[in-house]
A and B are shown apart, each in its own frame.
Chain A
Amino acid sequence: MADTHSVIGTQNKKGQTFTDTWKMMHEAPRTPSFFTGSEVIKEALRRASCDVMIAYPITPQSEAAALIGELFAEGYIGDYFRGESEFAVMSQCAGAAFGGARVFTTTAGPGTMRAMENFPMWAGARLPIQMIVTCRGINSPLSIQPDTLEIAYLLNTGMLVWHAETAQDFFDWILKGYMVSEEPDVHLPLALCCDGFFVTHTKDVVNLTPADMCLPPYDPYRSPVPCMDMECPPVRMMRDPFVMKSNYISYATHASWQQEIWAAIERSRKHSIHWLNGLIDTEDIDQEIMIVASGTAVSQGREAIRLLEDEGVRCGLIKIKTLRPWPEEEIREATKNAKHIFVPEFNVTGWLAKEIRATIPNPHRVHAGPHVCGGMTMPPEIIVSEIKTTLGMKSFSLAGRGS
């Protein structure tokens, strides 16, 4: 039986030292390295004491999945294979997690959609699987380009959903993510999302922890449900589900079960704040104009703020790190002085703006935009233009806005 604390200081078969995660992430020396986001995923996983990685190729996550194959060949991953489809992959991930393994997978766009049935199942079964989602377009006509619409579908699955801005976020959050999702009072899957290509295929300087340190192994005996007991729920429910019984208490049990999943997301709040240093980052929140964003839209917002400063317009910035748990109180507090709240997004529906509108008082302050989608880039100038137009300032027209 694994005991997380007793292995600290000992070595795995690759000679890596199982290290207290807080010390590894906050006290160990960091080495600046120039990597793509996909390479960073590989480097994080090298240090993650991962038992099983399963994936199916789909752009833009294929490169990360292939690189992790190299890790398997080097002996850093317990098992690694390609599933028959994304649906099969996510089902196989469930099987491995039911058996008590630390599991990792990667997917994107239509792959996320194809596998969707599995995600509420993972959450309901309390499986702390980590899934990297390198977001891309999901609709016909086909697009492999960045688009964050698929995140909207993940928000109500019962999974934890985090949205990384940079490759550095990715490196840190993959490792910290296991610490949050494997807490016995949380024990939920984590969808760690990024904007495909913008993060996965661009190089950036990322500060890596030492390669000879790794996370303590997963201890399945701390799970809030028995691991792989075919006679007990949740596995037993596959053949003897509550839904097959028509009585009040069966329904009440299922209702109570669902509530418990969302209660677990609430409990993740404390752990996420501890590991991520808050659910949001803020800059200059005394300003009357705020930009609120997640993912790479944060970077574009930051650049727009710099451009606006040149014109004498001061803006604050809120970077949302976790979408589930949703930082409701933090956003309310950080926007209390704002008269105008701009929400730039890489998707057509503006799901983030809708969430923010549902969170804060006086939601008319929220300007849902600018939006781009289908793989378009978001030049900071269009954020500047959106803000200046709203403020009644003269703004030049940008190609593609139809004005």
Chain B
Amino acid sequence: MSQYRVLPGPEHFLPPAAASMGIFLPNPGEAHINGVIVSEEKAYEEAARQFLMAKVPTIFPGPLVLWAWNEKAAKKATAIRHLYNTLKECVQPGQMAMLIPMPDYRPKYPKINPEVEINPNHPNLTIWHNKIDCCMFVGVHCHQANLSLKIIRGGTSCYTIAMCAQAGHEDAMLSFRDASVEKIMKLADTVKRLKGTVQPRQTSAKSGSSN
């Protein structure tokens, strides 16, 4: 088993892909935390705990759920909105839940507006600007999600969660696989259940540039 652990950064000038460090993706019914395979139940608890600890817990929905290209996508979008509303209800004063879309993957120059979107080619700008210390990717194509997750790990201290509809992401600190409406709703239920039991973090995210 690999000794490497997928942890909040800033990790390195160019952090390695976790898969190249011997981290494996979970099998159906499993999840991973920091690169260690765990039960989905444990992952729900930890994801909810990380959301409730964060100063700025944020959901990044991608194109696969932002556009109603099929019925399932529309239902997932509704579930994600429910998760966001639950987060807003459950955080304490001083915490601010956010929902920032990743509408597409185009390289945007000279710069994106980090207040309104996140882009996989420079996701750190949105993380830094909004002082996001915990985020969840959902509905982002797997390749683009891995690209982002690795850049975030390289340059920021943000805790990353992936709610992946396919095989999961070893470059996130916590990853679900086979994401469905039910799984998103279950995460929302877990957040609600843990409300008031988790102490928010005192400091917000550190950036690579300010370290």
B141 at the A interface (CB under 8 A):
yes
Say what secondary structure dominates the interface of chain A.
Answer: helix
Residues of A within 8 A of B144 (CB): 224-225, 233
- In the complex, the answer to whether A253 meets B141 with C-beta atoms within 8 Å is no
Distance in Å from the Cβ of B34 to the closest Cβ of chain A?
A: 17
26 intermolecular pairs with C-beta atoms under 8 Å apart: A187-B143, A224-B142, A224-B146, A225-B141, A225-B143, A225-B144, A226-B63, A226-B105, A232-B105, A233-B105, A240-B106, A245-B107, A245-B109, A249-B151, A252-B151, A253-B120, A253-B122, A256-B14, A256-B147, A260-B147, A260-B150, A262-B17, A262-B20, A263-B18, A266-B17, A267-B25
B167 at the A interface (CB under 8 A):
yes
Say what secondary structure dominates the interface of chain B.
Answer: loop
A183 at the B interface (CB under 8 A):
yes
B121 at the A interface (CB under 8 A):
yes
Interface string of A247-280 (1 = CB under 8 A from B): 0011011011101101110110010000000000
B45 at the A interface (CB under 8 A):
no
CA distance A185 to B120 in the complex (A): 18
- In the complex, the answer to whether B106 meets A232 with C-beta atoms within 8 Å is yes
A391 at the B interface (CB under 8 A):
no
B39 at the A interface (CB under 8 A):
no
B124 at the A interface (CB under 8 A):
yes
**A233-B106, A236-B106, A260-B17 known; A249 and B143 CB under 8 Å?**
no
CA distance A126 to B147 in the complex (A): 13
Specify which of A126, A223, A232, A256 lies most central, judged by the most chain B CB atoms within 10 Å of its CB: A256
A184 at the B interface (CB under 8 A):
yes
CA distance A263 to B25 in the complex (A): 11
B84 at the A interface (CB under 8 A):
no
- In the complex, the answer to whether B146 meets A252 with C-beta atoms within 8 Å is no
CA distance A252 to B120 in the complex (A): 11
- In the complex, the answer to whether A242 meets B107 with C-beta atoms within 8 Å is yes
The 10 A-B pairs at the shortest CB distance, nearest first, are namely: A224-B142, A263-B19, A263-B17, A224-B143, A185-B167, A184-B166, A259-B17, A266-B19, A253-B121, A232-B105
CA distance A351 to B106 in the complex (A): 40
- In the complex, the answer to whether A266 meets B20 with C-beta atoms within 8 Å is yes
CA distance A257 to B20 in the complex (A): 13
CA distance A249 to B123 in the complex (A): 10
CA distance A184 to B19 in the complex (A): 14
- In the complex, the answer to whether B142 meets A257 with C-beta atoms within 8 Å is no
Residues of B within 8 A of A249 (CB): 121-122, 124, 151
**A184-B167, A259-B20 known; A236 and B143 CB under 8 Å?**
no
Residues of A within 8 A of B167 (CB): 183-185, 267
Residues of B within 8 A of A225 (CB): 141, 143-144
CA distance A249 to B151 in the complex (A): 9
Interface string of A156-184 (1 = CB under 8 A from B): 00000000000000000000000000011
- In the complex, the answer to whether A252 meets B25 with C-beta atoms within 8 Å is no
Known: A232-B104, A249-B122, A253-B107. 7 other contacts (CB 8 A): A184-B166, A226-B141, A242-B107, A249-B151, A252-B154, A256-B14, A266-B19
Q: Which of A186-235 contact B (CB under 8 A)?
A: 187, 222-226, 231-233
